[in-house]
Amino acid sequence: MGQLAVNGGAKTRTKSFPGWPVFDEREVKAVEEVVRSGRWGCLTGPNTSEFEKKFAAFQDAKYGVCIVNGTAALEVALRAVGVKAGDEVIVPPYTFIASATAVLLLGAIPVFVDIDPDTYNLDPSKIEAAITDKTKAILAVHIAGGPADMDGIMAVAKKHGLKVVEDAAQAHGAAWSGRRVGAIGDAGTFSFQASKNLTSGEGGMVVTDDPDVYAKAWSLHNVGRVPEGEWYEHRILGWNMRMTEFQTAILLAQMERLEDQMKTRDANARYLDAELSKIEGIRPLKRLPRATSHAYHLYIFRYDPKAFGGVPRSKFLQALGAEGIPCSSGYVPLYKEELFYVEPDGCPMGCAFYGRKMDYSKVHCPVCENASYNESVWLGQNVLLGTNEDMDDIARAVRKIRQNAGELADG
């Protein structure tokens, strides 16, 4: 009988980690109040506009517009800053698919630029080489809730006259150099989907400091209406991407816990950083000094098979899961997704439709590929809502696997 749980040994941990979402009677009461009010839509009820103001202020932004989800929020934000069909948008390949599909759905073209090996965020030093006369914007994704290098990204954008949209879907409360993310660039987007650190099941928001971007985003999400216009007056081509009062009532209640949850995640992540760093072959992602607040939507560490007797990451993950630590391998590079190859002309809808053929099979971002295929190990944000002892279990399980790696190499 092997000592590792994956080989039949005793598990390091049998208790489960804290569940998600966290809720109590506040959410129940908030939804009940909306039901009883009969004001279920955001055009008549008070919750959506209250939440827009509160959450935008929380992110140090002047304006917020609630949008049905984070993917749609990206489309709205990109269009609001002026991205049009045929434009190119710089996108990191290590992110959720929406960061690229929102670009494609506008008929624009994602151009992938590699990530930084220490943060897994867009590497500002690699952006300039990808800029062409068609480049319109940079999508700065704050991956895992760790703020991207906004100084580097904003400097390149300024030099080349590009717009910056922040994909902060995972970064509620994250801050760069003391300023919360979202409106550091021209616009930013959030997701309130079920797994996110602030959630209403589904939902999203565009934030900005620019009154014109705000007005455009508001109009785009409300079928082209303008605030001072008539009900049946549609000045631009817009979508209906409005959220409901049920969702924003829940979000207002969820916000009451957010600061405390952020503190817990932060303290546990720092503790885990210290513990895991003591184990040879394990390197947590780096937190840059200017990343003054990290949302820790994910806790990511880097695994080096060489220090584990050559055991591939897939086996390590299996073993860690068997020890009672829920974990996963994370994203594949977006340009490897089938959608970039299966459309009729050999390229996705946007590119084919606008007569440009992009051959994504030639894209090669080595840092992202190493992160995706060899190195990254993900823990979910709910794990970080546990105690120091819970974090000790994680470190203990990793140490146990390292000490007994021979069992996996042989198996």
Asked if omega into 147 is within 30° of 0 (cis), the reply is no
Write the binding mask 98 to 127 for ligand PLP: x where contact by CB under 6 A, - elsewhere. xx----------------------------
Residue 297: its H or E element? none
**Closest-CA residue to 75 (of 120, 43, 110):** 110
String of contacts with ligand PLP for each residue 138-157, x by CB under 6 A: ---x----------------
> What is d(CA 148, CA 157) in angstroms, rounded to the nearest whole number?
14
Parallel, antiparallel, or unpaired: how do β-strands 204-208 and 187-191 relate?
antiparallel
Catalytic residue chosen out of the listed positions 136, 163, 196, 216 = 196
Q: What is the largest CA-CA distance in the chain?
A: 75
Residue choice 42, 139, 169, 319 for contact with ligand PLP (CB under 6 A): 169
Per-residue binding letters, 50-89, with ligand PLP (x by CB under 6 A): -------------------xxx------------------
Which range of residues in 28-36, 83-91, 103-111, 167-175 is near ligand PLP by CB under 6 A?
167-175
Q: How is 212-255 classified by DSSP, letter by letter?
A: HHHHHHHHHHBTT--TTS-TT---S---B-PPBHHHHHHHHHHH
* Among the residue ranges 24-32, 162-170, 284-292, 298-306, the one whose residues contact ligand PLP (CB under 6 A): 162-170
Residues pairing with 110 in the sheet: 89
Pick from 105, 77, 109, 91: nearest CA to 331: 91
Q: Determine if 207 is a binding residue for ligand PLP (CB under 6 A).
A: no
The residue among 95 and 268 lying less far from ligand PLP, judged by its C-beta, is 95
Q: Does 170 bind ligand PLP (CB under 6 A)?
A: yes
The answer to whether 248 contacts ligand PLP (rule: CB under 6 A) is no
Question: Are β-strands 88-91 and 109-112 bridged in parallel, bridged antiparallel, or unpaired?
Answer: parallel
Judged by beta carbon, residue 169 or residue 395, the one nearer ligand PLP is: 169
Q: Which residues contact ligand PLP by CB under 6 A? A: 69-71, 95-96, 98-99, 141, 167, 169-170, 191, 193, 204
Q: Which residues are catalytic?
A: 196
